[in-house]
Structures are given as C-alpha cells and as structure tokens.
Amino acid sequence: MRAKMYCAFLLRALGYEDGVDFLYADTLDFAMLHGLFNLSMLDAAPFLRDDLAAVTYQALGADLKDGSTYLLASLVESGAIDAEAARPITEKIEAYRALTAASQASSTGIDADYTMNMGMDIAVDGSDGTETIHETMSVAVSGNGRIQMILKDPLQLAISMNMNMESNTAGAGPDVTMQDQVSVQEWMQDGWVYIQEEMDGTTDRYKYPVGNMDGFAEFYQEMLQISGQMNSMMLPMIDSIDVSRTGSRTVYTMKMDDSLNSLLEDLLTALQEELAAMESPVDLTADLQSCTYVYTVGSDGELESCTADFDLDLVLGLPVTETENAQITAKLQMDMQMDVNATGDDVRISYPSFSNFEDLTPVLSGGEL
C-alpha cells in the first residue's frame, strides 16, 4: 500500500470526498493541510506499518470536514469505539488540542524574551595515517535575548542574542581554555537581512538580500495553512501530556517519545545524501535521550511561556584522508525558556537605521544567498 492510497481512505473517514474536495493526484498535499503528515509522504519511499500507524493516530485527532469534532470523538459518540477503552487517547488528544488552540496566535506572530543554557561534551578519535587522534572538548554556552517574528506578507524578523561561551580542549597539546562574549542582532525587512555583531570590542554591520523572497513568502504561507491544522500532527511523537493548574494558569508538561528518533534518522539520511552528492560524505547518527516541553497558559487562554529541555547524543564519522577516518561523538544538553510578550497581530517590530550597514551583495555568488 502507498501513502496516497491510505491517506485518501483516512480523508474519506474525515468526511472529505475525492473528486469533490480534492483530486486523488493531490491527495498527499491535501492530507498535509488537514493534519496528516509523515516523511514517507514526501517521496516514493515504502509506506511501512510504522508510517501507517502514525498517520492513523493523526487522523484520530484530526477535525472532521464539518468541524463539529475530531474523528476519535465522533467514533466514540457513535458507539463504534468504547469510550473507556479510548479514554487514554482521547485525554491526550484533547489536552494537545487545547494547548494548540492556546498557541495558535503564535503561528502568525510572536514576541518573546528567552534564556538558554547549553552544555556539550565532545570527543574526537581516529587516525590521520601517521598519528592517532584523540581530543576532548567541553563547551558551555549561556545566553539571553529577544525574538520577534511576523510570519505574514511581508515577512519581518528581529532577533537579539547575548552569549557567553567557555570551552576547554585537551588531547593534542597543552590544555586550552577559551572564553568569549558575543552579541548578535539580526533583522529581516523588505527582502534584506541585516546583521550586527559585537565581539572583543569590535562591531561589524552588514546586509545581504534574501534570495527568492517570493519563494520564502510562499513557503511561509503554506506553513501557516498547515499550522492551522496542527492539532494532530505531533500526536504520534508525544509520550504523555500532563495538565495541572497553578492559580489561574494551566500548565501542560509534554514529554516526547522515541519516535522523534525516527524523524531525526530520516532527516539525517536526507542530509547525508545531499552531502554525498556534493562529494562531502559523512556518517551521522543521532539519539535523542529525552525531550520535555512545559507550556504555561494564562487565564485568558493565551500562551504565556514555554520551556524546552532535551538531551541528544550525536556520532559523526568524517574522512581524514582517503583511507583514514575520525569519529566525533558529542553529548548535548540544552534547556531554553521563552516568556511571551505578544502574539499574532499584537506583535510590533521597531527597526534601527540601516544606512551604515555594509552591502555584501558584490561578494556573494550571483549577488544573492
């Protein structure tokens, strides 16, 4: 069975008719706009049992065509599925739908202050044909800043980042400790990207045109359409959602499960294929150890804050010479918190004067990135 065939079946269960609401040839595009998505739907890859289970789960949480409810709720209401047997899934679906509704405005615009901390332990082992390579590095990064995005036409963006970085390297020679403080501000306006960097007392300002701005706008519009139907897309990757109350606020604690690793594996495979085509072969694997999000929603039903905490193991194989390789292993731990100032149409971005930003167009290939 192919993804198209099964998605057409699920869309019919949701009340859509092929030939009326969508053409069979466009089944996958239509399905992705209505809450069904799996990477196997993007190409001619085999549609496996895991893929079938994932999109079925998504369909159970997707809205019916008439918008009256979602599929699993309608099946329970009709008596096709026992309510008690379905309770663990319906509770997860309804918690996630409530969280998505509270976050909906942020899909078109968000203004948030954030803090982040990241630690990474890296080991490099291998040989260059004459000497054995063994180096270790620990990196600690802390930072804060603000992110503002208006994801409408015209697209607008403002990001500020203040980072403190410390690294310790040992192995090939004397141990080396380095500390850096970096401040970066970035804006996107009227088809241009503007960047200001401050490091070691030096400030650099430059700008470059965003290539194919119309393509970016079209891409974001598609993403906005999809985000309007996101109630079910993440369901197969969620292990649990706990809902609690703190005063007038609702707190959602969402833990992701191992299926995120399948998504990472597919993405890394695609990346490796691209690099191999450019004659830069690498062997890259990732293992997500844990991933937890905590969302706080105010009494007005709007998102107030979000924290993310995850642990990730990476293994990267790199060619050193024609016959020798090195392996880089990295353990990454990161936590980030965002405090939301505004969402949707309430987001406003103020821009500085860009008159003294150096134009990098002449040095870019073809004049664009």
pLDDT, one tens digit per residue, over 221-260 is 454 444 444 457 788 889 999 999 999 999 999 999 887 7
- The pTM (predicted TM-score) of the whole model is 0.83
Report the interhelical angle of 3-13 vs 49-60 (nearest 10°): 20
Residue 138, both tokens:
């620990």
| Nearest 10 degrees: Cα torsion 148, 152, 155, 157 | 0
Spell out the residues 6+ positions from residue 105 whose beta carbon is closer than 8 angstroms to its own.
302, 303, 343, 344
Element at 23 (helix H, strand E) = none
Chain segment 111-158, per-residue pLDDT in tens = 999 999 999 999 988 876 677 778 899 999 999 999 999 887 778 899
Q: How far apart are CA 114 and CA 119, in angstroms?
A: 17
Q: Distance between CA 332 and CA 288 in Å, rounded?
A: 10
pLDDT tens digit sequence for 312-342:
998 888 765 655 677 889 999 999 999 999 9
DSSP 300: T
Distance of CA 213 to the CA centre of its chain: 21
Backbone torsions φ then ψ of 27, nearest 5 degrees: -55, -45
Q: Are 315 and 327 in contact (CB under 8 A)?
A: yes
Q: In terms of residues, how long is the chain?
A: 369
β pairing state of 358-359 and 202-209: parallel
75 within 8 A of 68, measured Cβ to Cβ: no
Task: Of 30, 16, 14, give the one whose Cα is nearest residue 73.
Answer: 14
Q: What is the pLDDT of residue 45?
A: 66
d(CA 282, CA 214): 33
pLDDT tens by residue, 57-71: 999 999 999 999 999
How many other CB atoms are found less than 10 A from the CB of residue 97? Answer: 18
